[in-house]
A = this chain, B = another copy of it.
Amino acid sequence: MPKPTLVVESDDPQVGLLEAAGKLFRQKGFAATTVREIAEAAGVWPGSLHYYFPTKESILLALMEQGIASAESGFRRALEASDDPIDRIRLAIRAHIRMLVGNEAGTYVLLYEGRGLTGDARTAMVRLRDRYDALWDGLLYQALGTGRLQSGIDVRLTRLFILGSVNWVAQWYSPDGGRKPDEIGDSFADTVLNGLVG
């Protein structure tokens, strides 16, 4: 039996392994997932896994790099729909939630499995996360510049507030749960923006 379960679609083993690892890391966590499980879910034998990825940690790293790339490009794409910084906050919130609940397992892993990386890989990851945070801070500064928000706002704290509520969506969202991702995003954006305008 060359391909035991074949849970994953892609023909390219490297892509299939990443996809399988993403699902498992999200479901069970990095440390609790074994390389054998990943290989099986990808329809590959355990030994072959190490041909594509030298270590388990390198799979996590690749996944996170994919996650940060998707987060950044999603953020930038969202901003194209409007020039108004206040509108753009809403658009960015929606985009962030869509990524988190979508198939892009990398984004979830990026948020919640950072402890799995050690040494240089970890510092590299933190730097990438900081870059995404900086995108948000820039947007929030722009919004402040319009004069339509309260003047005393702490940008960093506001970013942490917004990202906290949206990141948490990944913990409770269910596709059968009634609310669609964009509806959740709009509801959150309503409260946040209304709260910041005062």
A interface list, Cβ under 8 A from B: 27-32, 112, 115-116, 154, 157-158, 160-169, 171-172, 179, 184, 187-188, 190-196, 198
Contact = CB atoms under 8 A, between A and B. Distances in A.
Contacts of A187: 154, 157, 161
A169 to B, nearest CB: 7
Contacts of A27: 115
User: How would you classify the secondary structure of chain A's contact residues: helix, strand, loop or mixed?
Assistant: helix
Nearest to A189: B195
Contacts of A162: 165
Contact of A194 (B28, B169, B172, B194): B194
A93 B162 CA distance: 15
Nearest to A192: B195
Contacts of A164: 164-169, 171
Contacts of A163: 168
A86 B198 CA distance: 16
A162 B164 CA distance: 9
A36 to B, nearest CB: 15
Contacts of A188: 161
